[in-house]
Amino acid sequence: MGSQFHGIGKNLIIIGLLLVVVGIIFTLDLNLPLGRLPGDIKIEWENFSFYFPITTSIILSVILSILLKLFK
């Protein structure tokens, strides 16, 4: 019974460590260009603004996929 939860526990530890690293990066305020990359959509009108970070989302997805593949 305990062996089926072993994988879940390992994944939770990895996710927790990733959250700690992200928290440290945000705390240090490193001026990363994420969110202002070419390809991110930003539309502003008088009373309306729309922002969709497509390029940032793709880059973060690739990085997280590589990290998860390395830890599995």
**Could you read off the pLDDT of 17-41 as tens digits, one per residue?**
888 887 887 788 777 666 677 888 8
User: What pLDDT is attached to residue 59?
Assistant: 87
pTM for this model (two decimals): 0.53
Cα 8 versus chain centre, distance:
20
Nearest-angstrom CA–CA distance, 65 and 6: 21
13 band by pLDDT with thresholds 50, 70 and 90: confident
